[in-house]
């Protein structure tokens, strides 16, 4: 692995995991010293992180880890809704049942998994990532997959806001199960609605967490339209 690739991978993971929280200042000299590389690979990694939107430029050689603000989260979820509801609908029409049946079995075990503490939460998020990959593969849309990849990069940062909320994680597991059941039933409309419902609940949780930890100026808070729970499959 090239030095610039290694530096990028390390910094990217640290930002996504919260080890480098929003507002952290990153300099070429400091990161080069910390990661035992010259400034050139650090500069290359910084360029890629800027392109990802994970950092913003403070000066030519100084970056700051991007904030997770209410406005940015709402914009992210607006895009996620447009992309993920379509992906779920396409997956319902084109899916191979085998992969989703296996994921369904694991989702049924999610409540017990989430009782295992941090290790269980990590494994649960790996299961969610597997579901995302299965939907992307089943949707079979290259352009949609590329757009979703960028979305999910930032979603993983927002997801940390609910990582210490066991009740919300259990609810999310049930919502994911509803999406899978709709896909297995080859019901694109229900798959789309189940995804919309899940995204709305997730957005509500993320905004509440942001408001609790980083009080925002008093102003109307934008949100997605209030959805109703999908009937039938999701309610089981």
pLDDT for 223 beyond 60: no
Q: Which of 9-13, 35-39, 142-146, 211-215 has the lowest mean pLDDT?
A: 211-215
In tens, the pLDDT along 68-81 reads 899 999 999 999 99
Who's near 212: CB < 8 A, 6+ residues apart? none
CA–CA dist 22, 76 (Å, integer): 16
Q: Do 50 and 78 lie in a common domain?
A: no
Q: Is position 231 within any domain?
A: no
Task: Determine the pLDDT at residue 235.
Answer: 41
Q: Is position 224 within any domain?
A: no
Q: Do 103 and 55 lie in a common domain?
A: no
CA–CA dist 139, 87 (Å, integer): 6
Q: Is position 220 within any domain?
A: no
Answer for the pair 135, 180: CB distance below 8 angstroms, yes or no: no
Q: Is position 150 within any domain?
A: yes
In tens, the pLDDT along 41-64 reads 999 999 999 999 999 998 878 899
Which residue, 63, 66, 23, is CA-closest to 43?
Answer: 63
Q: Is position 218 within any domain?
A: no
Q: Do 144 and 200 lie in a common domain?
A: yes
In tens, the pLDDT along 132-191 reads 999 999 999 999 999 999 899 899 888 887 777 889 999 999 999 999 999 999 999 999
Q: Do 81 and 192 lie in a common domain?
A: yes
Q: Do 82 and 161 lie in a common domain?
A: yes
Q: Do 89 and 188 lie in a common domain?
A: yes
Report the percent of the chain where pLDDT is more than 90. Answer: 74
Residue 223 vs residue 11, higher pLDDT = 11
Who's near 221: CB < 8 A, 6+ residues apart? 70, 207, 211
Answer for the pair 100, 199: CB distance below 8 angstroms, yes or no: no
Q: Which domain CATH number covers 91?
A: 1.20.120.530
Q: Do 50 and 154 lie in a common domain?
A: no
Q: Is position 230 within any domain?
A: no
Q: Do 174 and 86 lie in a common domain?
A: yes
**Count of domains in the chain?**
2
Q: Is position 165 within any domain?
A: yes
Task: Determine the pLDDT at residue 232.
Answer: 56
Query: Mean pLDDT, the chain, as a whole number?
Result: 89
Q: Do 91 and 154 lie in a common domain?
A: yes
Q: Is position 128 within any domain?
A: yes
Please report the beta strands in the chain, taking only residues with DSSP state E, as ranges in sequence order.
25-27, 55-59, 62-65
* Domain span holding position 24: 3-65
Q: Do 128 and 141 lie in a common domain?
A: yes
Q: Please tell me what DSSP assigns to residue 23.
A: T
* pTM assigned to the model: 0.81
Which residue, 202, 193, 228, 206, is CA-closest to 85?
Answer: 193
């Amino acid at each position: 692995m090239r030095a610039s690739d290694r530096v990028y991978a390390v910094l990217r993971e640290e930002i996504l995991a919260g080890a480098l929280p929003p507002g952290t200042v990153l300099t070429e000299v400091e990161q080069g010293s910390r990661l035992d590389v010259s400034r050139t690979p650090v500069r290359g990694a910084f360029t890629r992180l800027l392109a990802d939107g994970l950092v913003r430029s403070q000066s030519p050689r100084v970056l700051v880890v991007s904030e997770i603000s209410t406005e940015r989260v709402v914009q992210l979820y607006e895009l996620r809704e447009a992309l993920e509801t379509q992906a779920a609908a396409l997956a319902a029409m084109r899916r191979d049942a085998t992969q989703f049946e296996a994921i369904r079995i694991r989702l049924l075990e999610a409540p017990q998994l989430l009782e295992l503490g941090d290790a269980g939460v990590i494994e649960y998020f790996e299961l969610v990532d597997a579901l995302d990959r299965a939907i992307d593969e089943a949707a079979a849309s290259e352009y949609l997959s590329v757009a979703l990849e960028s979305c999910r990069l930032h979603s993983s940062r927002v997801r940390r806001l609910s990582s210490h909320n066991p009740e919300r994680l259990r609810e999310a597991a049930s919502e994911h199960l509803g999406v899978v059941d709709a896909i297995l039933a080859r019901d694109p409309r229900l798959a789309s609605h189940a995804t919309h419902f899940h995204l709305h609940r997730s957005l509500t949780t993320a905004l509440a967490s942001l408001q609790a930890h980083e009080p925002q100026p008093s102003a109307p808070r934008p949100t997605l339209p209030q959805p109703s729970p999908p009937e039938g499959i999701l309610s089981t």
